[in-house]
Structure 1
Amino acid sequence: MATPRRTSRLNSLLREVLSEVISREVKNPQLDGKLITVTSVDISRDLRHAKVFVSVIGDDADKDIVMKTLEQASGFISVQAAQKVVMHHFPALVFHLDESVDKQMHIHQLLKSVNDEKDSRQSLQNGSEQDDTDKS
């Protein structure tokens, strides 16, 4: 069993290496033009399995294609990453879609629309107050 400190270091290292492998070494037309980010890696305590969380910018169809393509290429990705990270056994990779970026963007859009509405109401209110002062 790995110590929490070691698993944390391995998670960071694997995130960097997997990001590089996916962006530079996976040659698949299904991934061309897709913005894919490895957001985090969660390796098991026995170092045999790793959950790889990826963010994909695009619509649901793009996300489905990317996730299926990464699953199909997981063997190749593992071999390439294992050449860069020295481990007794390289963990089996399981890809998961990280939707936190989408949620953050949605929250940002909601906040922006609330602020825009607040600004428009305030400008309307200021305009009506100006009209009231002009009448006096």
Structure 2
Amino acid sequence: MGYQRTNRISEEIKKIVSKMIMNELKDPRISTLTSIVEVDVTRDLRYANIFISVYGSQEEKENTLTALKNASGFIRKEIGKKLKLRYTPEPIFNIDTSIEKGIYMSNLIDKLNKKDSLDEKEDH
């Protein structure tokens, strides 16, 4: 029961914050290629861990994270207006690196496959 509720709240926060990044937050430090990967709300609904993915350089990622952290009070207020909860979760922004890790792993696998095919050709 409680698990489903936190999942629903997480999804709603994901939608709200995504729209805010696209339409309402005008901070030039926020990269246009920023997306919300996942939102994980704690069971007591006090905190919302928001994992973002930023396509760009390390500096762009850091600037976007800083800007979102600076805007977290405004973001929390807007979440509170739209969700009508007893406690509005405190947004905590984190960079999600799973996409980069996936690309890195995929490249490693490709290199190994190429090496294996070259080794097989040399054996024959």
Tell me the TM-score range normalised by the shorter chain.
Answer: 0.7 to 0.9
Q: Deviations over 1:83-127 (max 9, x none)?
A: 3323233211111111111111111111222233444x27x938x
Question: What is the rounded CA distance, in whole Å, between the counterparts of 2:121 and 2:39 in structure 1?
Answer: 51
Instruction: Evaluate the alpha carbon distance shift between residue 32 and residue 40 of structure 1 in structure 2; reply closer, same or farther with a 3 A threshold.
Output: closer
Distance (whole Å) between structure 2 residues aligned to residue 65 and residue 97 of structure 1: 11
Cα contact 2:52–2:95 (8 A) shared by 1: yes
Residue number among 114, 117, 120 corresponding to 1:116 in the alignment:
114
Q: Residue 75 of structure 1 corresponds to which residue in structure 2?
A: 73
Runs (5+) with no aligned partner, structure 2? none
CA displacement at 1:32 relative to structure 2: 4.3
Match of 1:5 in 2: 4
TM (norm. structure 1) is 0.78
> In the alignment, what sits opposite 1:132?
none
Alignment partner of 1:100 is 2:88: no
Q: TM-score, structure 2 length as denominator?
A: 0.84
- In the aligned structure 2, how far is the partner of 1:32 from the partner of 1:68? 11
Match of 2:15 in 1: 16
1:75 and 1:22 map into 2 onto residues whose CA distance is 14
AA aligned to 1:109 is N
Q: 1:114 to 1:79 in 2, by over 3 A?
A: same
| Equivalent residues of 1:52, 1:95 under 8 A apart | yes
**Which secondary structure state, in structure 2, belongs to the residue aligned with residue 30 of structure 1?**
coil
Identity %: 28
Aligned to 2:82: 84
Structure label with greater radius of gyration = 1
Point out where structure 1 has 5 or more consecutive residues left out of the alignment.
Answer: 130-136
Question: Does structure 2 conserve the Cα–Cα contact (< 8 Å) formed by 1:22 and 1:77?
Answer: no
| 2:64 corresponds to | 66
Which consecutive aligned stretches of 4+ in structure 1 deviate over 6 angstroms post-superposition?
none
